[in-house]
Chain A
Amino acid sequence: DIQMTQSPSTLSASVGDRVTITCRASQSISSWLAWYQQKPGKAPKLLIYKASTLESGVPSRFSGSGSGTEFTLTISSLQPDDFATYYCQQYSIYWTFGQGTKVEIK
């Protein structure tokens, strides 16, 4: 099984901050990686797929990079609506999610 490890688990930040979340795969997954945002009591929302492709309708302040085993999600200027939990997901072999990164208000 492919394991996905996100860091940090929790991130405290202020509006306007640049935020970076890292996701590491236990083996190479090429670019078969997606990022999701989830708010309390809501379903996850797809942000980025194929490591760096922005889903339609997602603000351009979100970006993704990486390949192989190391990936990052960057929010260029954190907005109030961005405080949420973020998950990476590999889909190289079946599907596995990271444990999540909660972005909270500093």
Chain B
Amino acid sequence: EVQLVESGGGLVQPGGSLRLSCAASGFSFSSYGMNWVRQAPGKGLEWISFISSSGSPIYYADSVKGRFTISRDNARNSLYLQMNSLRDEDTAVYYCARESLAATGSRLYCFDCWGQGTLVTVSS
């Protein structure tokens, strides 16, 4: 069964740091690009970062550029998001999401598998 499980969320003060993890299982993790998407309470979805299957290229949304760092460890089937200089507006459920691949192996660019999410609350 394809599965993504996020962890590492919690309560952090403004200006603080947090590291999220996403453990993948049931598929060849090293073959897939991965993303982080967040959802503030009662709000819509916001894509925040992408990392390719090999680890490069990497992209960020402007809202987190310079503060968040995405990384992956293909040997451990894990995706990470290092979040620094956290702000109140970073409060959200954070999802990891797999980029879909066609049967031929070509990228489809949409997200076909999502974790259950981990809640990050930034508050003093």
Contact = CB atoms under 8 A, between A and B. Distances in A.
Contacts of B115: 43
User: Dominant SS at the B interface?
Assistant: strand
Interface of B: 35, 37, 44-47, 50, 59, 61-62, 95, 100, 108-112, 114-117
Given A32-B109, A95-B35, A100 B44 contact: yes
B59 A89 contact: no
Given A46-B111, A87-B44, A89-B111, 6 more contacts: A34-B110, A44-B111, A91-B109, A94-B50, A98-B44, A99-B44
Given A43-B116, A95-B35, A49 B108 contact: yes
A46 B44 contact: no
Contacts of B114: 43-45
Contact of B47 (A32, A38, A50, A96): A96
Contacts of A97: 44-47
Contacts of A91: 109-110
Interface of A: 1, 32, 34, 36, 38, 42-46, 49-50, 55, 87, 89, 91, 94-100
B49 to A, nearest CB: 10
Contacts of A95: 35, 47, 50, 109
